[in-house]
Amino acid sequence: MNHLLKMSDLSKEDIIDILNLADQLKYELKHNIPHKHLEGKTLGMIFQKSSTRTRVSFETGMYQLGGNALFLSSKDLQIGRGEPVQDTARVLSRYLNGIMIRTFEQKEVEDLAQFGNIPIINGLTDYCHPCQVLADLMTIREYKGQFDGLKMCYIGDGNNMANSLIVGGLTVGMEVAAACPEGYRPADDVLEFAKGYGDKFTLTDKPLEAAANADVLFTDVWASMGQEDEAEIRRKAFAGYQINDEVMAAAKRDAMVQHCLPAHREEEITSKVFEEHAAEIFEEAENRLHAQKAVMVKLMK
Ligand code: CP
Ligand code: NVA
């Protein structure tokens, strides 16, 4: 494993290895056991979009690992004025030991990896959000003990979260059911990937069908970063694609709820369900820190 560009870069063994290390690092942090695996190393963090969790968890994580993190807003970098990614990659490779990038196009992340010679970590693109899904899988395993026999349900936009959850969930052995409205389905290559898992994957436009007997339910915002102009159209398209009491009643009684955050209450999730499952949702947010530390150690040590 040289980079983390998308979920399908990882085998089941890679994911389990990362989660095992993440569990260990979480234990070590809670027990004040030093784990400075990246002393003297620097991570550059390029942001073309806003962030609370990704920025703070990577920066804090790097500090806890004994290294240093640089926040690089694309507004201040020459990349924001048109310097090619190919050149940026070759320059930054000479200063840094790794780059985390949050941007729009997946191709930009792939180009950084192709032209640079240091590990690249995808901190979210329009296409996928692998760091988030590693934290999600970590949280599911923490609560449920294993993945086999579990059903994951995703309700909402077939966006970056849906794409990564479908690939990640199927890879670790879960059944995955997605409910997305027509016109807002997951990426074609993700649906192609899912075909390889036969009836372990289902795609419907009926949220209750996807939620039936689910062990863990996911949703995400109706309008992602960069889609603010479409918010009104999307509000109409996604009406009914909400995690609420009715959806929860279709799932298993002990079903968990996960949300990558930020959440829009009364849109994709009701306030009531959100607050009833807040413990799991904020554990999921915390696990971003541990899962990403594991990724950085695997890639940069
Ligand atoms: N879930 C997530 O990536 O949050 P941020 O946008 O705050 O980083
Ligand atoms: N789908 C959301 C996820 C935010 C973490 C977005 O891209 O804005």
Amino acid at site 186: P
Positions of the chain with pLDDT under 70: none
pLDDT at 102: 98
Could you read off the pLDDT of 103-132 as tens digits, one per residue? Answer: 999 999 999 999 999 999 999 999 999 999
Rg (the chain; Cα; Å): 19
pLDDT at 51: 98
CB of 113 sitting under 6 A from ligand 1: no
pLDDT at 226: 98
For ligand 2, atom 7, the nearest C-alpha belongs to 224
The angle subtended at Cα 1 by Cα 50 and Cα 59, nearest 5°, is: 30
Atom of ligand 1 nearest to the CA of 131: 3
CB atoms within 10 A of CB 82: 6
CB of 204 sitting under 6 A from ligand 1: no
* Residues counted in the chain: 301
Q: Distance, CA 31 to ligand 2 centroid (Å)?
A: 33
Dihedrals phi, psi of 219, to nearest 5 degrees: -145, 175
pLDDT at 158: 98
CB atoms within 10 A of CB 256: 24
Q: Would you say domain 130-284 falls under CATH 3.40.50.1370? A: yes
Q: In the CATH scheme, what is the code of domain 7-129+289-300? A: 3.40.50.1370
**220 classed as catalytic:** yes
pLDDT at 14: 98
How is residue 225 annotated by DSSP? Answer: T
**From 64, 220, 277, 292, the catalytic residue:** 220
Amino acid at site 10: L
For ligand 2, pick from 56, 106, 124 the residue to mutate: most ligand atoms within 8 Å of CB. 124
Facing residues of 201 across strands?
176
- Cα gap 237→183, rounded to integer Å: 9
**From 260, 277, 290, 292, the catalytic residue:** 260
- Cα gap 97→225, rounded to integer Å: 28
Query: Is 136:258 a contact under the CB 8 Å cutoff?
Result: yes
Which residues of the chain form CATH 3.40.50.1370? 7-129+289-300, 130-284
User: What CA–CA distances, in Å, run from 237 to 125, 184, 267?
Assistant: 22, 9, 12
pLDDT at 45: 98
**146 classed as catalytic:** no
Half-sphere exposure of 230 (CA within 13 A, CB side): 12
- Cα gap 89→83, rounded to integer Å: 10
Q: What's this model's pTM, rounded to 2 decimal places?
A: 0.98
Amino acid at site 117: N
pLDDT at 63: 98
CB of 224 sitting under 6 A from ligand 2: yes
Q: Which residue's entry shows tokens 């949703």?
A: 219
- Cα gap 299→296, rounded to integer Å: 5
